Structure 1
Amino acid sequence: MRKHTDPAAVGTLLRHVLELLDRDVAKVYEEQGLPEYRPRFSPVVRVLLAEGPLPVRDLAAAVGVTHSAASQTAAQMARAGLVTHSSDPQDARRRLVELTSKAHAVLPQIQAEWDATAAAMTELDAELSMPLADLLTEVAHALHRRPFRERITDAGQHETTCPQGEAGA
């Protein structure tokens, strides 16, 4: 990888790291004969295993993504034959997302990959100054306490109120 030379491009670096991780996990699934399975499916599979069939709204909340993201992931999973949509017996207007027999059949392979990924993450964390998940959790909490937009706005106001050359001092 090229040296990351622009310290202001944190978003680009985060996306790059995610691409590296997701790409390699996807390659493992492909090598295991599961080319249609994507790393983004795993949180959905975990929730549906734990909770059973759920409406997309509840699935999104349980996974921690937007309704739109959960809906898109469920649609991709349906095209891969891993989930199906059925009517909610308590409210026929709602559709439930549930794992298919195909998903249950490949679950041992998926769970083995989850275990291997956890072990690989432990190895990677040993090379870092702190575990990556801990750092990202810390960042998420800090941004929940004070959103980045506020930080940007405050920094912009500081820039406009300070004489040139004094900002950031």
Structure 2
Amino acid sequence: MSVRNQPDPAAVGTLLRHVLELLDGDVAAVYEEQGMAEYRPRFSPVVRALVAQGPLSVRDLAEAIGVTHSAASQTAAQMARAGLVTHTPDPLDARRRLVALTAEARSLLPRIEAEWEATAAAMAELDAELSMPLGELLAEVAQAVGRRPFRERVAAARRTA
């Protein structure tokens, strides 16, 4: 893509989505090349959390991977449709259901882990070309917006304009 076809840097939301599409799209293509067409990059944090902690409620899963309950629920539902997780009753609380890896997901773990490591190495290479590591910058942005939500910043800018 030429520089002329890049999103306007002032359109930050569009630019963020564009960068995410570029990165996630290429990682998804790698999974497809590896024979895992149903597997999505967004599944890896869930898989890693479930491997490390065992079955989790959606609330605990959301906390473990740092997303909203809604995002974790949607990802778990996509993974269930792909045959990678199940939802089973929590033996300690019948009102809750636990997300657990299926045997199919466990059989893919060596390939998932290898691709995770390759993706991390590729990200390190990309980071070396940037003025600061992308992950650090995004974490810094998330912290700043956590301190003062963007809607407050927009409202303040409107008042001063």
Q: Distance in 1 between matches of 2:136 and 2:72?
A: 24
1:2 shift after superposition? 4.0
Unaligned runs of 5+ in 2: none
Which residue pairs with 2:61 in the alignment?
59
User: Once the 2 structures are TM-superposed, how far is the Cα of residue 62 of structure 1 from its aligned partner?
Assistant: 1.4
- Quote the offset at 1:95 in angstroms: 0.6
Structure ID, larger Rg: 1
Match of 1:35 in 2: 37
Secondary structure of 1:39's aligned partner: coil
Residue number in structure 2 paired with 1:14: 16
**Residue deviations 1:47-83 (CA, integer Å, cap 9, x gap):** 1111110111111121111211111111110111110
Distance 2:118 2:146 in 1: 31
Structure 1 residue runs without a partner (length 5+)? 160-169
**How many percent of aligned residue pairs carry the same amino acid?**
75
Look up the SS of the partner of 1:108 in the other structure: helix
Confirm or deny: 8 A CA contact 2:80 2:86 kept in the other structure.
yes
Computed over aligned residues only, the root mean square deviation of the Cα atoms, in angstroms, reads: 1.1
Query: Which 4+ stretches in 1 moved above 6 angstroms?
Result: none
Q: Matches of residues 1-169 of structure 1 in structure 2 within 5 Å?
A: 1-3=1-3, 4=6, 6-159=8-161
- Does the C-alpha gap of structure 1 residues 13 and 5 become closer, same or farther in structure 2, counting only changes over 3 Å? closer
Over 3 Å counting, the alpha-carbon distance change for 1:92 and 1:150 in structure 2 is same
Structure-1 separation of matches of 2:120 and 2:38: 21
Is residue 7–residue 14 contact of structure 2 (8 Å, CA) maintained in 1?
A: no
Deviation at 1:8?
A: 2.3
The TM-score with structure 1 as length reference comes to 0.91
1:6, 1:57 → 2: CA distance?
37
The separation in 2 between residues aligned to 1:67 and 1:86, in whole angstroms, is: 17
Alignment-mate amino acid for residue 6 of structure 1: D
Letter aligned with residue 48 of structure 1: L
User: For the residues of structure 2 that align with 1:128 and 1:83, how far apart are their CA atoms?
Assistant: 37
Aligned residue pairs, count: 159
